[in-house]
Chain A
C-alpha cells in the first residue's frame, strides 16, 4: 500500500506553488512549461518561486543528512503560504512528502514545520488527477505509449496509478506494458556513478524492455529515470526512434493543439 493510498485530497485550489526540480530545470524546461499550461487550464494560478533550487535528495541518499536538512529547511521557507506545492518529479515529491518529516524527527518544532509542509506536497500527475480531477480530451492521431514510473514515485507517492489513469483518458492512445515494469532503471542518483557496472546492467535491461513494448512513445514523470534511460537509448543509437519525454509534455501535446480552448 502506498502512503498516498490513504491520502485525503482537498478540493481544487485557486493557486499552487510550482516546484520544477533541478533536473527538469536544466534538462527539460518544455516539460515544465507543459505542466504549467495544463495546470493553468484547470483555472489554477501558478506561483513561481524563483529562489527554489533542489529538494536535497542527492545529499540525503548519499548519507549527508546535515546538508540535506540545510537545503530542506531553505526550500520549506520559500513556500510560506498555504497553497499546494506541485512537484515535477516522483522521487523529489517522495523526498519532500515522506522524508522531510523524518529528517527532523528529533526536533519537535522543525518536525511539525516539515510535516505541515509535506502535507501540501503533490506530485504533478497526482495533483492533476486527484486534486484537479482533470478530464482530458485527446486531440491527437492514434499512437501508443509506454509509461516508466520511478521507484520512489511508485512506492512513496503511488504515481504509477495516477500517471496511468491520466494516459487512459486519452482515447487515441494505446497504453503498452513493458516487461519488468516495476523494476528499477538503475539510476539511483550517485548509485549510477558509484556502482557504474551494476547500474549499466540495469539500464540496459530497462531500455530493452521498454523498446520491446513496441510503443511509439516513452513517457515518465521523473527526470532522473528519463536522463538515465534516454542517455542509454542515445548510446545505443536509438535516440531518433525512441526517446522518453515527461508525461506533462505528452499530455499537453495530445490535448492542446487546437485554438480556442480553455
Chain B
C-alpha cells in the first residue's frame, strides 16, 4: 500500500489543487462551521473561559519549564509501575525501536489507536515494509487508511470526506459491504471489521494525551472505545508520545482534559478517558502483559531551547486553531503536507522538518489572529509565525542558537527592498515626493499589479494624497480668519465619493 504523499515544500501547488476542488471545500466549510458552533456552545461564559485558559496555560508553562526533570521523573515512576521507557531522538530511531519491540515479541498483527505522533514518524509504512500488518482502529483513521491517505485533521482524520465518499471507499475495500449512505450503518460496518482485528492483534499501539510524571500514568482521551481495546486486548501495548506531553501532577490533568475536549469537539467530557498505569498484575486476568512507552524528540528540543518558541510546545492538540483558521477551512489539511496542519502545524513543523521545507507555511497566514483567539492554552501563534518568518529569511543573531534551516529562504532582493522601504519611510521629504509622483503619474503609467489584479480591480488612487490635502488645508486656514477656517476647509475638501 502506498500512501499518497503531500509535502510541505509543495504547499502552494497543493493549496491550489484543494481550492479547485469544490466538493472538498464544501466538506470543510460544513465541518468547520459545525465545530465552531460546538465550541461556542461549550464555552458560553467568556469570563470562565478566560480563567480556564489562563489556568491551562499556567499548567503547561510550569510543566515545560521543568521538562527535563519531569521526563526523568516520568521515566522513574513508569518503570516502577512496570512500564518500560524508551527514548527516540528522531523518526528513524523511533521506527526502529518500535519495530524491534514488535519483532522481539514475535508480533505480526498490530492495531493502532489514533496517534498523530505515529503519523509523524510514518510508522505504518515502516511496519508494512517489514511485513507487519498495522490496522488503524479509530473510525476516521481507518477510513483514511483504506483510502491510502494521511489524516487531514488531528482530531477528525477523515473530516474532508462526506458519507458518500466513505460509502464508496467501503464498497471498494470491505467484502460483502451492503452499500448504504446511513452513517450509523457505515460506522457499524467499520466496527465489525475492526472487532475481529482487535481479537487477532499481537500488539496495540497508542498515543498519549497526558503523561503524568508524579504517578507514571499515561492518559488517553477518546470517544470510540477503540483506544481501550487497543491498549487492553493485545498482549503487548506500545504507547508513543512527544516529550512535551508530560505534566507534573495528576491534578494537572482534569483542567487540561476539560478544556481540551470542549475546544476540540465541544464535548464536556469524552466517552472514554483511559488512565494506564502498567501491565496486568499477578491476580489480574486481563490487560497487556507488557507496556512500553516511547518518548520522541524529533525536533521538539529545538523549540524547547528558545524561550519564545517553547510556547509552541504548550499545545494540547485540540485542533481548535485549525477549526477556526480561514486558510485551513479553504485548503484543508492535506495541502499543508505536514502531520499537523493548520496554524499549529505552521509553528511546530519548522522544528520537525526544518525551515527549508516549511518556509511557505510560515507565510501562509493573513495573521488574522483567529487561532490565538481560540487556543485553549494561549499560544501566541501569529507572533511565533512572525518570528519564524524572520528566521527563515535571516541568519541567527550572534550568540543565539540557530534553527534547522535558518535563513534557508534568504533573498537578497527582498532584503534590499525592505531596506530601501525603511529608508524611504524614514525620509519624509522623499517619501512625500514619491507618493505624489505615484498619484499624479498613475493615470499614465500602466502599473503591473500581478497577483493583486487577478481578482481585483486596480486600486483607485486619490487625485492628491492626504499629505497634500492637509498642507493645502493648513495654507488656506492661515489665510482665513481663524473663526471661519474649519468651515472653509470642510467645504473645499468634501469629496462627493
Minimum CB–CB distance for B49 against chain A, Å: 9
A25 to B455, CA, bound (A): 24
Contact A70 B422 (CB under 8 A): yes
Q: Which residue of A lies closest to B462 (CB)?
A: A29
Interface flag for A168 (CB, 8 Å): no
Q: Is B363 an interface residue (CB 8 A)?
A: yes
Asked if A117 is an interface residue, CB under 8 A from chain B, the answer is no
A146 CB to nearest chain B CB (Å): 17
Indicate whether A195 reaches chain B with its CB closer than 8 angstroms: yes
- A51 cross-chain contacts in B, Cβ below 8 A: 428
Question: Is A127 engaged at the interface, CB distance under 8 Å to the other chain?
Answer: no
Chain A residues, CB < 8 A from B275: none
Whether, in the assembled complex, B460 has its beta carbon less than 8 Å from a beta carbon of chain A, the answer is yes
Known A50-B428, A202-B326, A202-B366: A63·B12 in contact at CB below 8 Å: no
A229 (CB) vs chain B CBs: closest residue: B456
**B274: Cβ under 8 A from any A Cβ:** no
Secondary structure call for the B interface: helix
Nearest to A260 among chain B residues (CB) is B487
Are B431 and A151 in contact, with the CB atoms below 8 A? no
Q: Is residue B467 within 8 Å, beta carbon to beta carbon, of the partner chain?
A: yes
A122 at the interface (CB under 8 A from B): no
Q: B365 to A197, Cβ gap below 8 A?
A: no
- CB 8 Å contact bits of A113-125 with B (1 = contact, 0 = none): 0000000000000
Beyond A1-B46, A37-B490, is A29–B464 a contact (Cβ under 8 Å)? yes
Which of A33, A63, A155, A204 contacts B390 (CB under 8 A)?
A63
**Candidates A63, A155, A235, A249; contact of B455 at CB < 8 Å:** A235
- By beta carbon, the residue of chain B nearest A183 is B326
Whether A195 contacts B326 in the complex (CB less than 8 A), given A33-B473, A62-B418, A155-B369, comes out as no
A110 an interface residue at 8 Å Cβ cutoff?
no
Closest to A150 in B: B368
User: Chain B residue with minimal CB distance to A250?
Assistant: B497
Structural contact, B452 and A63, CB atoms closer than 8 A: no
Let me know if A198 and B327 touch, CB within 8 A: yes
Q: CB distance A245 to B497 under 8 Å?
A: yes
Say if the beta carbon of A186 comes within 8 Å of chain B.
Answer: yes
Whether the Cβ atoms of B390 and A64 lie closer than 8 Å is yes
Q: What secondary structure prevails in chain A residues at the interface with B?
A: helix
User: Do A53 and B428 touch (CB < 8 A)?
Assistant: yes
Which of B180-188, B202-210, B213-221, B432-440 interfaces with chain A?
Answer: B432-440
Q: Which of A71, A194, A232 contacts B456 (CB 8 A)?
A: A232
Question: Residue-by-residue, is A47-66 near B (CB-CB < 8 Å gives 1, otherwise 0)?
Answer: 01011111010111111110
Total A-B contacts with CB atoms under 8 angstroms apart = 208
B330 touches A198 (CB 8 A): yes
Give residues of chain A (65-93) contacting chain B, Cβ–Cβ below 8 Å: 65, 67-68, 70-71, 74
* Bound-complex Cα distance A5 to B69 (A): 39
CB atoms of A198 and B331 under 8 A apart:
yes
CB contact under 8 A between A74 and B426, given known A64-B415, A65-B390, A184-B326 = yes
Q: Is the CB of A27 within 8 A of B462?
A: yes
Please name all residues of chain B whose beta carbon is closer than 8 Å to the beta carbon of A171 when the two chains form the complex.
none
Interface contact A53-B451, CB-CB below 8 Å: no
Partner of B425, one of A36, A53, A187, A196: A53
Beta-carbon contact of B456 and A235 below 8 Å: yes
Do the beta carbons of A188 and B428 come within 8 Å of each other? Answer: no
- Is the beta-carbon distance between A63 and B46 smaller than 8 angstroms? no
Contacts of B370 in A (CB 8 A): 151, 182-184
Q: Which of A33, A60, A199, A245 contacts B466 (CB 8 A)?
A: A33
Interface assignment of B228: CB less than 8 Å from any CB of chain A: no
Q: Is B469 an interface residue (CB 8 A)?
A: yes
Chain A residues within 8 Å of B415, by CB: 64
A190–B365 CA distance with the chains assembled, in angstroms: 10
Q: Does chain A have a CB within 8 A of B58?
A: no
A181-222 interface mask toward B, CB cutoff 8 Å, 1 = contact, 0 = none? 011101111111111111111111000000000000000000
Contact (Cβ within 8 A) A56 B425: yes
Q: Across the interface, which residues of B come within 8 angstroms of A230, CB to CB?
A: 457, 460
Chain B hits for A68, CB < 8 A: 422
Are B368 and A203 in touch, CB under 8 angstroms?
no
A window 235-262: CB within 8 A of B: 235, 239, 245, 249, 253, 256
A:129-158 near B, CB below 8 Å: 151-152, 155-156
- In the complex, whether A8 has a CB less than 8 A from a CB of chain B is no
Contact B454 A196 (CB under 8 A): yes
Distance of A56 Cα from B423 Cα, bound (Å): 11
Interface contact A40-B486, CB-CB below 8 Å: yes
**Does A101 make an interface contact (CB < 8 A)?**
no
Using a CB–CB distance below 8 Å, which chain A residues touch chain B?
A: 1, 20, 22, 24-30, 32-33, 36-37, 40, 48, 50-54, 56, 58-65, 67-68, 70-71, 74, 102, 151-152, 155-156, 182-184, 186-204, 227-228, 230-232, 234-235, 239, 245, 249, 253, 256
